[in-house]
Amino acid sequence: MSLITELASQAHSAARTLAVLDTERKNQVLLAMSAALRANVDSILTANEQDLNHARAAGLSDAMIDRLTLTPERVEAMAQGIDTIVKLDDPVGKRRELCVRPNGIRVSKLSVPLGVVCMIYEARPNVTADAGALCFKSGNAVILRGGKEALASSLAIADVLQQVLQLFKLPKALITVVPDPDRALMLELLQQRDYIDLVIPRGGEGLINFVSDNSKIPVIQHFKGVCHLYVDKAADVEKALNLLLNGKTQRTGVCNALEGLLVHKDIADTWLPIAAQALEDSGVRINADRRSAGYFNGANILEDQEFGQEYLRLEIAVKIVDSLDDAMEHIAQFGSHHTEVICSEDIQAAARFQHEVDASVVMANASSRFSDGGELGLGAEIGIATTKLHAYGPMGLESLTTEKYLVDGHGQIRE
Amino acid sequence: MSLITELASQAHSAARTLAVLDTERKNQVLLAMSAALRANVDSILTANEQDLNHARAAGLSDAMIDRLTLTPERVEAMAQGIDTIVKLDDPVGKRRELCVRPNGIRVSKLSVPLGVVCMIYEARPNVTADAGALCFKSGNAVILRGGKEALASSLAIADVLQQVLQLFKLPKALITVVPDPDRALMLELLQQRDYIDLVIPRGGEGLINFVSDNSKIPVIQHFKGVCHLYVDKAADVEKALNLLLNGKTQRTGVCNALEGLLVHKDIADTWLPIAAQALEDSGVRINADRRSAGYFNGANILEDQEFGQEYLRLEIAVKIVDSLDDAMEHIAQFGSHHTEVICSEDIQAAARFQHEVDASVVMANASSRFSDGGELGLGAEIGIATTKLHAYGPMGLESLTTEKYLVDGHGQIRE
């Protein structure tokens, strides 16, 4: 048996033990994990120093090195993240009654863990603790395959968590770090359909495409975030301005930042001059359709087919639309099913937009930047899905479970 | 654009129209569909006669020809199936409140259709009407790719349904039959990730493996049904006997038939002689472990690694176990995550079995034969999943939807 098959099959067996652990016990283990991270901060930082030395020697970018760097505060944040997960509701074991059939059998559904979750990610060592704790609380074993840049740090964090597992007589294989970042081994991991139930890649579009194209296991896909703000004719001008600036400028390199602005023609004369000034003051580069270009200084003209770009920097696409329907049509064509926002005081317009726009998160009068697990109250987020199966949007503990049917009878047979 | 890409992209566009149709309108369309099937029974039977002539000329088996054959009664059953779907609750548009965050944004989830569902099936013409109606009610466009044996019948049924769509000014592309059963075209269909959201194959293990291995779109997998009855020491002997005979003999070629019998050692002397006699009377061939073989006449001895077969005929594997835990261990090793049954009057034993056994349907004191959508009260079944993602077990209307997040604010931005 190869190393990868062995790791996967051990995780699969370990998952059975965890699936039946009660909430109180799981929380005790999680609290011991956060305490152990705090107690072992020195060994974690020592391992991280190794990763940083390699990263500096390899000439990695400052942004990459920043993502990789652990400090006592960042380890404390990881521990606090686990403490937060302790407080979340256990998603496993929830019974939902469906019906009692005419023959008297009682049919219900019971939420159960998925089994084994495989995380594939790049250079963020904190994913090891976050995903480890989220999967543990939801009753799943996890296999963590991080980038080689953070390997020593990930192994050190996993080692601390595994020591806690052993203290509680639980199998170490509940939290497994793949010790070799070789791509061939990742490919092998993606074939383990018998042992792994779900793959969650986190990283750039290249990584997600590679995993999707090569996996025999279902993959949570999260491609890109081309999010729009539609400023309706019935918009409150101040709210619209706040939502625009917050969505575009508060943080630009993230998937829930705004990339497109659609403005109803009836409000253009009132609102666009103010918005244009504010965007200019914030240093946002403007790409505009011919109709809206005149409101801006030095806008780049966008042709119809050029919309839909994910800029991830201080740059935005602007278009004037004739109606709510035209706005929704534009979003259907150029959106990425991530997050879409309407700003309107017209309750009916807002409701139509929310019901009809096909995106995982549809907001009325709130910033696109709220589109993540923490902000939406999930407590923590294991990933985000922009494909519609199983989960759609930010995924918390509930998305790490499914439901099985229970049937209770008193000897009924089928005629 | 190739034929297949064109069909898929038309279905994708059509799905947007359907996603926003209200329940009353959908039910009107469905009632018109069942009426139109009844009114066009002659043209459907004429097309079916073509399929049957080809099938006889090709020397297809009697069983295959029976599955293919339509009669006035079978067309009426299809129409009644649609009438039943009209009465089912609309799964789309259900709002579930999640929370109001400290900043005042209100977070909820809204159930939405998946988009485009692709059914891949063999020679059953009724799937065309059943899947067409289930997908329509759940707001999904459907692409039907049946086997070549039933092509003329499927096209005739789809033609009737499409005429109704046009009468209601809805796009024909909501229900599409692939007009050419060429395998290369099926392969092309399985690549249409941009337009199709879910593939449901129905048929033998070969078809399901072919689809799973070649699809770029998520596939609902339903491999096999190796279902067990565990007769606990606290079982009611008569119930146990009824569940055994019903599960094994009522219909043998189906995935929810029993293939394994596990008997607690403490009840073996009392119950196994009666069970052995009843199985012999029903002509069931016995494969038994060494410990139970003595209770049967002429049992074939099974070694440990030979358990787990799907017989699909009057044949069963029998084993004596020392405890509930041993029974669950055997099922974990040899079960297929389909349906598992405990017979016991001990409520705690039944509850442990239901919670701990990892199968899509876990029954206490009821026949495994109840494991299908109709019997479990789903109204109708589009498929059954033995993998755990998105859906697990029989899939009804609810499984053809997912949920998106809605956020309602009054101008909140992220700090």
Q: Which residues of B touch A218 (CB under 8 A)?
A: 218, 387, 389
pLDDT band, residue B64 (cuts 50/70/90): confident
Between chains, do A110 and B19 touch, taking CB under 8 Å as contact?
A: no
> Are B185 and B178 a contacting pair, CB within 8 Å?
yes
Q: Which residues of B touch A377 (CB under 8 A)?
A: 98-99, 101, 107
Q: Which residues of A touch B218 (CB under 8 A)?
A: 218, 387, 389
Q: What is the set of domains in chain B, with CATH numbers?
A: 3-221+391-408 (3.40.605.10), 227-372 (3.40.309.10)
Nearest to B365 among A362, A402, A409 (CB): A409
Residues A374-394, mean pLDDT to the nearest whole number: 80
Between chains, do B405 and A412 touch, taking CB under 8 Å as contact?
A: no
- Give the model confidence (pLDDT) of B87-117 as tens digits: 999 999 999 898 999 999 999 999 999 999 9
Q: What residue of A is the nearest CA neighbor of B363?
A: A407
Q: Is the ipTM of this complex over 0.90?
A: no
Q: Give the number of residues written for chain B.
A: 415
What is the rounded CA–CA span in Å between residue A389 and residue A198? 12
Q: Which residues of B touch A414 (CB under 8 A)?
A: 246, 250, 367, 369-370, 375
Between chains, do A366 and B407 touch, taking CB under 8 Å as contact?
A: yes
Distance from CA of A404 to the nearest CA of B (A): 5
- What integer pLDDT is reported at residue A381 of this predicted model? 81
Q: Which residues of A touch B343 (CB under 8 A)?
A: 411
- What integer pLDDT is reported at residue A380 of this predicted model? 76
Better pLDDT: A34 or B390: A34
Intra-chain end-to-end CA distance of chain B, in Å: 47
SS (H, E, C) chain B: CCHHHHHHHHHHHHHHHHHCCCHHHHHHHHHHHHHHHHHCHHHHHHHHHHHHHHHHHCCCCHHHHHHHCCCHHHHHHHHHHHHHHHHCCCCCCCEEEEEECCCCCEEEEEEEECCEEEEEECCCCHHHHHHHHHHHHCCCEEEEECCHHHHHHHHHHHHHHHHHHHHCCCCHHHEEECCCCCHHHHHHHCCCCCCCCEEEEECCHHHHHHHHHHCCCCECCCCCCCEEEEECCCCCHHHHHHHHHHHHHCCCCCCCCEEEEEEEHHHHHHHHHHHHHHHHHCCCEEEECHHHHCCCCCCEECCHHHCCCCCCCCEEEEEEECCHHHHHHHHHHHCCCCEEEEECCCHHHHHHHHHHCCCCEEEEEECHHHCCCCCCCCCCCCEEECCCCCCCEEECHHHHEEEEEEEEEEEECCC
Is the pLDDT assigned to residue B354 strictly greater than 80?
Answer: yes
Q: What residue of A is the nearest CA neighbor of B216?
A: A213
**Would you give the DSSP letter of residue A89?**
P
Between chains, do B364 and A115 touch, taking CB under 8 Å as contact?
A: no
Is the pLDDT assigned to residue A389 strictly greater than 80?
Answer: no
Interface test with B, best of A209, A357, A407, A415 (most B CBs within 10 A): A407
Is the pLDDT assigned to residue B409 strictly greater than 80?
Answer: yes
> Are A373 and A379 a contacting pair, CB within 8 Å?
yes
- What integer pLDDT is reported at residue B277 of this predicted model? 97
Is the pLDDT assigned to residue B165 strictly greater than 90?
Answer: yes
Is the pLDDT assigned to residue A123 strictly greater than 80?
Answer: no
Distance from CA of B207 to the nearest CA of A (A): 16
Is the pLDDT assigned to residue A294 strictly greater than 80?
Answer: yes
Between chains, do A409 and B198 touch, taking CB under 8 Å as contact?
A: no
Distance from CA of A391 to the nearest CA of B (A): 7
Residues B279-295, mean pLDDT to the nearest whole number: 97
Residues A286-291, mean pLDDT to the nearest whole number: 97
- What integer pLDDT is reported at residue B122 of this predicted model? 82
- What integer pLDDT is reported at residue A405 of this predicted model? 79
Q: Which residues of A touch B408 (CB under 8 A)?
A: 350, 363-366
Q: Which residues contact B365 (CB under 8 A, 6 or more apart)?
A: A408, A409, A410, A411, A412, B236, B239, B243, B342, B343, B344, B350
Q: Which residues contact B150 (CB under 8 A, 6 or more apart)?
A: B51, B68, B122, B123, B124, B125
